[in-house]
Structure 1
Amino acid sequence: MTASIAPPPAEQVADDVRRALAEDLGGGDVTAQLLPDTAESAYLLCKEDAVVCGRPWFDACHRALDPDMSIDWRVAEGDRVGKGTVLALLQGRTRALVSAERASLNFLQTLSGTATATAAYVAAVEGTRARILDTRKTIPGLRLAQKYAVRVGGGVNHRIGLFDAVMLKENHVRVAGSITAAIRAARAMHPTLPLIVEVETIAQLEEALREGCDRILIDDFDAAMRREAVRIARSAPFNGTIPLEVSGGVDMTTLRAIAEDGVDFISIGGLTKHVRAIDLSLKLGPPPASA
């Protein structure tokens, strides 16, 4: 794993794994009971190109059922791998291997899917100033895991929840009466928290720039409005001190043009919402000689 990416808290991983195994095993794996509980080997195969993410959850699933399970990883967290790569070799009790298989793969394939998608978006904006942000559009109960996967893929976390940043959106501004009133109320109540303001017009953008905040979200601006927003934010007296974020209408067909307009951040809900799991298999026995 890239040295700058902190590993997930052990208690978070353990809690996720407890819930996953309870959901899958219930009172016990009735099919695994048909197998002799002898020592067995297995290998983990990646069946498509991917960025590997989720090793801590995979390991915890298997060791929850067999504390002596040996897992010899051939790749690091965050590595890019090709189709046909053997990711790890396992050695442990047969029943534990097959009982932990689905839960462990569910974590690894889902988080690798998020990391792989994020890496593709990050690569698409390479050479621009734009950085890729996630959103709160996550799988319920797996937000911290998915946001970790975004970081492994080279992206940046927007905010974790509703508690660690103030984000003024259309409804907040409407109730407050104006951008200025909403910003002042937020600063008065939460002076130490980051303040992000969503604007819908150039006039609102200028109001937010004058009043001051930590980031401005230009929501669903067309290309001409977006370029004008960048020009204004970079010009005196603002001089680029408040970064601009784009949200809405972003996919691989529009991403590069948006980044080249000079925005600082692009948030993409699909990183964690439109998850396509990576195709993985856990197979008993030794890996093929060619692997």
Structure 2
Amino acid sequence: MTTLLIADHNNTSLADATSRALTAALQLGGDVHVLVAGANDRAAADAAAKLDGVKKVLLADDPALDHQLAEPIAALVVSLAGDYDAIVAPATGNGKNILPRVAALLDVAQVSEITKVISSDTFERPIYAGNAIAEVRSTDRKTVLTVRGSAFAPAPQGAATAPIEPVAAVAGDYRSFFVGEALASSDRPELTSAKVIVSGGRALGSAAKFNEVILPLADRLGAAVGASRAAVDAGYAPNDDQVGQTGKIVAPDLYIALGISGAIQHLAGMKNSKIIVAVNKDEDAPIFQVADYGIVGDLFQVVPEIEKALN
């Protein structure tokens, strides 16, 4: 069995989700080749070649693949698909954009956001906002998977470097094109790979209070900042910080939930965290059902006490 893993990258480095998806791909058995598609992306290919278990890296370096638009990359993957039994991508924004198109073009079903590999054709994935786990078996001639990165450990660096082989982009009259982007920069850890996350909910009351309470504690702990959907919808935090089924799926070593009630869609995004600490004045809040440590109280009084204890 040979698997093609589509790398998520920024042309210079790999996203953490790529090495986690590699761990899942290796569990399918057989060889794993990594496709790095973009423009001026040799550095990302070099990084992929150093990951343990990678047998070969396919480098597609073409201006037409810049910004990793779904249509040209899906066409490229389909052109390569004949040599592979499985096609895998991390369940990131790029993976969720590209792989459904690949599955449709190959006329096979996609198995989305797997959290466990049982065998080369059987997987576990969450359903009903994570309240149940389904065991899914693929009977298609090619297996197409997206991988929930929080469920797999990142693959380590290997002792040897895999060979890098160039591949050509597929020409076509694609209807989508790149218009522009606005990138948010932060000195804090990236949310999906952070070891510690401090999240705030609607109970904070305003964007000013969110920044006043959440940011100093996050800085003190070297943590990433998260938010509930309600807090994001209220304008307290940007969309990139949303944790949950409709946001980002995280599994840090420590997740601190401040003023978050624990709606089902939020729990689906963070309940696999190793240690969960919740602060909420409602003792019946659903967040306490998954919390390892719960404090019933006013977060505006509790958080200063936590910060004082850290000094």
Whether TM-score is above 0.5 comes out as: no
Structure with greater proportional helix content: 1
Q: Give the TM-score, by structure 2 length.
A: 0.29
Q: TM-score, normalised by structure 1?
A: 0.30
For the pair shown, the structure with the greater C-alpha radius of gyration is 1
Bigger RCO (CA 8 Å, 6+ sep): 1
